[in-house]
Amino acid sequence: MDLQLDDFRLTFEENKKTVRKLSDMKDFYADQRMATRTLQLYDPTIYAVYAHESEGPGNLSYAVTVINPGDIGGEYYMTKGHFHTKPTAELYLGLEGEGILLLQDRKGKAKKLPLQPGKISYVPKDHAHRAINTGDSQLKFLAIYSSDSGHDYSTIKEKGFEERVKKK
């Protein structure tokens, strides 16, 4: 179904803000030399997450993520990426900018979905997910997830994704 919506203003009260700078995620980039060199000059903000988190089973949490444009050695700015600790799915809705939603199942099979305004993407349970800003402006999207899903960052930090999204 196609829904033509008028320009609208998205508002909500966040109760948690997280800012990820390059120094928080240096190891996630393939080009370690470039990451180190960049950090010697400055520590860019890669993304910020404005979340309204609820607690306990049966509830929903949601968050808007804003990823800045940029790259480290050609690899686009991206989120850390994670599995949910509990096998719960998630919805992503693109709001502004152009990017990719990278999914990967437990066996390492990867899939790329477009992340763009108006596009809803479904993250199936037991799939790691990472958003990547491939454009030259900020990428903004809304994510809606189960409040008790939990975030496992260590699996991706150790093993990474099978695919990296780089400038051509």
Q: Which of 22, 83, 90, 93 binds ligand PAN (CB under 6 A)?
A: 90
| Binding residue (CB under 6 A) for ligand PAN from 129, 133, 161, 165 | 129
Position 80 contacts ligand PAN (CB under 6 A): yes
Among positions 38, 50, 72, 81, the unique one binding ligand PAN when judged by CB under 6 A: 81
Residue 37 or residue 108: which is nearer to ligand PAN going by CB? 108
Using CB under 6 A, pick the residue from 35, 77, 79, 104 that binds ligand PAN: 79
Query: What is the Cα–Cα distance from 146 to 122, expressed in whole angstroms?
Result: 13
Q: Rule CB under 6 A: is residue 97 a binding residue for ligand PAN?
A: no
Angle at CA of residue 101, ends 124 and 89, nearest 5°: 20
Does 94 sit near ligand PAN (CB under 6 A)?
Answer: no
Burial class (CB in 10 A: 0-12, 13-18, 19+), 26: middle
Task: Give how many residues touch Zn ion by CB under 5 A.
Answer: 1
Q: Give me the phi and psi of 35, to 5 degrees please.
A: -60, -45
Say which amino acid occupies 4: Q
Residue 65 or residue 138: which is nearer to ligand PAN going by CB? 65
Q: How far is the CB of 42 from ligand PAN (least distance, A)?
A: 21
Q: Binding of ligand PAN at residue 104 (CB under 6 A)?
A: no
CA pseudo-torsion sign 88, 91, 97, 102: positive
> Which residues within the stretch 138-157 sit at the binding site for ligand PAN (CB under 6 A)?
143, 145, 151
Please give the Cα distance from 92 to 7 (Å, whole number). Answer: 19
Rounded to an integer, what distance in angstroms lies between the CA atom of residue 56 and that of residue 41? Answer: 43
Is the Cβ–Cβ distance between 93 and 126 less than 8 Å? no
Longest dimension (CA), the chain: 49
Q: What are the residues binding ligand PAN (CB under 6 A)?
A: 49, 63, 65, 79-82, 90, 129, 131, 143, 145, 151
Q: What are the residues binding Zn ion (CB under 5 A)?
A: 90
